[in-house]
Amino acid sequence: METKKSTNVVKLIIVGVFCVLLIVLFAFLINKRPSKAENVTKSTPVQDLLAQNLNGNYPPTPKEVVKLYSEYTRCFYSETYTDEELEALALKSRELLDEELVGNQTDAEFLESLKTDIARYKQENRAISSYSVASAADVEYNTFDGHDWALLNCIYSMRVGTAIAPVNEQFLLRKDASGHWKIYGWQLVEKEQE
């Protein structure tokens, strides 16, 4: 009888030690696993734009094209990036432009002109703080010379020093052979034209 009792006590001790080891192991694994907050790295607006695949996910409307182009523009003049990121961003932004507009400058000329313009903005303490693209209802559509055209405005909030001034630009877009709206050109809208 004594042996059976001591065997039961030994079994109970072994089970108890095993349970304690499981609890310790479980607690160790829980503490070792990185939290969700540690797993999530916040990307910058520049990285978000660079991660977009325009070949597979091109903006479907003129408004969305101008909105995306305006985000590129805001990043050029208001965000921090490396030289490599700027070059990649500039090349990606050109994917939104009509082939005739792209044909006016090589990629290298475009990048050099953009760098000069960005440097001037920084020297003048200017930046684009935000933008507002016209509503879809305000987009003017026309057909001319066998092409579909769209005309719409975008208002940029330009920060100069501590002051904010609105700048209204009008964009002209043309639908290409693939059915994508491409920016054909833009111009500053003078106050009396508004």
What are the pLDDT digits (tens) for 44-72? 999 999 999 998 899 999 999 999 999 99
Q: Does residue 62 sit in the same domain as residue 110?
A: yes
Same domain, 89 and 142: yes
Question: pLDDT tens digits, residue range 87-116?
Answer: 999 999 999 999 999 999 999 999 999 999
Which helix (H) or strand (E) segment holds residue 126: the answer is strand 126-133
Examine the domain organization and report whether 82 and 98 are in the same domain.
yes
Instruction: Express each pLDDT in 112-131 by its tens digit.
Output: 999 999 999 999 999 999 99
Is the domain of 78 the same as that of 105? yes
Give per-residue burial for 51-75: e unless 16+ CB within 10 Å, then b. Answer: eeeeeeebbeebbebbebbbbbbbb
Q: Do both 73 and 129 map to the same domain? A: yes
Whole-angstrom distance, CA of residue 140 vs CA of residue 101: 21
The count of domains in the chain is: 2
Print the domain residue range for 78.
45-193
* pLDDT value of position 23: 76
pTM of the model: 0.76
Instruction: Name the CA dihedral angle for 48, 111, 113, 119, rounded to a multiple of 10 degrees.
Output: 50
Whether 60 and 145 map to the same domain: the answer is yes
Tell whether the model's pLDDT for residue 193 goes beyond 70.
no
